[in-house]
Amino acid sequence: MGRSVYAVATMDTKGHELAYVAECLRAAGVAVVTVDVGTKEPPVVSPDIHRAAVAECHPTSGGRAAALSDVARGQAITAMSEALECFLSRESAADRVAGVIGIGGSGGTALIAPAMQALPIGLPKVMVSTVASGNTAAYVGFSDITLMHSVVDVAGLNTVSRRVLGNAAHAMAGMVQHPICSAGDTPALGMTMFGVTTPCVTAVREALEAEGFDCLVFHATGTGGRAMEALVEAGLIRGVLDITTTEVADEVVGGILPAGPLRFDAILQAKVPYVMSPGALDMVNFGALATVPERFRDRRLHVHNAQVTLMRTTPEENRRVARWIAAKLNRATAPFRILIPEGGVSAIDAPGQPFHDPEADSVLFDELEAAVLPAPGRSIRRLPLHINDPGFARALVEEFLSLDRAARPAGT
């Protein structure tokens, strides 16, 4: 059996619409498997994969998930979503999935999107949804889902829905018929960056690309760090230069770009060569100035642009941030390096800049140095440089290459 696009919907309410998507895909020369994930009424169009077969894949309840009509709608959606994730992951692992396209309203999107998020980066994923024009973070997460607004509700075929669903089908057809060639065996590295650490990360990236590495730069916006760690966990990234750990400040203090409680875990568990720097830990991120919480209104704030307001971290907040990081790193069983730029951790943490605060920085550096427990293979170096000084970038590259050479099998 060849690879097919799996077209997914609750076919008790979206059956005719999904059949139209499948028809468009087949007309474009793409093999399609329709999958029903309905939880209440029987499907209005017969699917290729029935909901019972999907439900059988549920990780805990097995076939009992097939009796979803007996539970509340919210519970049924959650259970079927978990079953779909297992089903699609199994089919993908067996190399039967060329891509996944889903259609739905709020319930269908909440059901299908998490299963898509669990699929490998690069596998085509398109979700046509009524909720695609709002806050989509919960649906996309840190995956590469292409989210298309349905404009009208997914409730019948009409002038608008035919055009939107047809465009989605043709977009999927283009993705699966014109795959992007892999870069081959070039070793991939993960790097974290913010605008205020761009000169450093750019210099590091260019130096390591010259050494033959494929450098993946992640915007340190909370989802950026999690996306990087997902690729580490998947074995697609073999080393990390965590130059911009600003997401931890948002996690600890309460900004809008938090690291999440699992930050660093996948990196440390994978034991990949790891070099870290406290880049942009001088700031906590908020939206437009008017959105800054009342409790922070009297703090040192910097309007980065109309949609982003930065808040300078205090010495006490920096102490807490350093302890949070150290608590993670102290669990490491593989070597790592921490490089500290004593001249400042961001472009606006420098003499004459709005967040220049040597006292706050000193607390961060001292606490990090004190809280990370000594162990073989660990080191913390202070350099009398600003993070964006060329010399600091060179030091990061040298430390990484040293760790990478030590981690390679003999003779490679």
For 111-161, write each residue's pLDDT tens digit: 999 999 999 888 999 999 999 987 888 888 888 999 999 999 999 999 999
> Rounded to an integer, what distance in angstroms lies between the CA atom of residue 282 and that of residue 359?
11
DSSP-derived 3-state class of residue 386: coil
CA dihedral defined by 85, 91, 93, 99, rounded to 10 degrees?
-80
Q: Quickly state the pLDDT bin for 281 (edges 50, 70, 90).
A: very high
Is the pLDDT at 21 greater than 70? The verdict is yes
Instruction: Lowest mean pLDDT of 44-58, 168-182, 325-339, name the range.
Output: 168-182
Q: Quickly state the pLDDT bin for 45 (edges 50, 70, 90).
A: very high
Which pLDDT tens digit goes with each residue over 355-380? 999 999 999 999 999 999 999 999 99
User: What DSSP line would sit under 119-172, residue for residue?
Assistant: SPTTS-EEEEETTTTS--HHHHTTS--EEEE-SS-SSS--HHHHHHHHHHHHHH
- Residues 193-199 have a mean pLDDT of 96
Share the mean pLDDT of the chain. Answer: 93
64: its two tokens? 């009992």
Q: What is the pLDDT of residue 182?
A: 61
Residues 6+ apart with CB under 8 A from 91: 6, 97
> Rounded to an integer, what distance in angstroms lies between the CA atom of residue 102 and that of residue 123?
14
Q: What is the pLDDT of residue 344?
A: 98
Residue 209 identity: E
Q: What is the pLDDT of residue 60?
A: 82
Q: What is the pLDDT of residue 122?
A: 87
Task: Answer positive or negative: Cα dihedral of 132, 138, 139, 145.
Answer: positive
Q: What is the pLDDT of residue 135?
A: 82
Q: What is the pLDDT of residue 179?
A: 86
CA dihedral defined by 85, 88, 93, 94, rounded to 10 degrees?
150
Instruction: Lowest mean pLDDT of 129-133, 142-146, 178-182, 183-187, name the range.
Output: 183-187
> Rounded to an integer, what distance in angstroms lies between the CA atom of residue 330 and that of residue 372?
6
Instruction: Lowest mean pLDDT of 39-43, 159-163, 292-296, 405-409, name the range.
Output: 405-409
- Kindly report the CA angle at 376 between 259 and 193, in degrees rounded to 5? 30
pTM assigned to the model:
0.79
**How would you class 143 by CB atoms within 10 Å of its CB: exposed for 0-12, middle for 13-18, buried for 19 or more?**
buried
Is the pLDDT at 35 greater than 80? The verdict is yes
Give Cα 312 distance to the centre of its chain: 26
Is the pLDDT at 65 greater than 70? The verdict is no
Instruction: Lowest mean pLDDT of 247-256, 311-320, 321-330, 402-411, name the range.
Output: 402-411
Is the pLDDT at 412 greater than 70? The verdict is no
Q: Quickly state the pLDDT bin for 390 (edges 50, 70, 90).
A: very high
Q: Quickly state the pLDDT bin for 183 (edges 50, 70, 90).
A: low
- Kindly report the CA angle at 303 between 302 and 307, in degrees rounded to 5? 140
Residues 6+ apart with CB under 8 A from 93: none
Q: What is the pLDDT of residue 185?
A: 63
Question: Is 313 in contact with 248 (CB distance < 8 Å)?
Answer: no
Give Cα 385 distance to the centre of its chain: 31
Which pLDDT tens digit goes with each residue over 68-118? 666 677 788 899 999 999 999 999 999 999 999 999 999 999 999 999 999
Give Cα 61 distance to the centre of its chain: 29
- Residues 194-208 have a mean pLDDT of 97
- Domains within the chain, CATH numbers bracketed: 4-177 (3.40.50.12020), 188-407 (3.40.50.12030)
Q: What is the pLDDT of residue 3?
A: 95
Q: Who wins on pLDDT, 6 or 73?
A: 6
**How would you class 89 by CB atoms within 10 Å of its CB: exposed for 0-12, middle for 13-18, buried for 19 or more?**
middle
Q: Quickly state the pLDDT bin for 64 (edges 50, 70, 90).
A: low
- Phi, psi angles (nearest 5°) of residue 341: -90, 100
First to last CA, the chain: 38
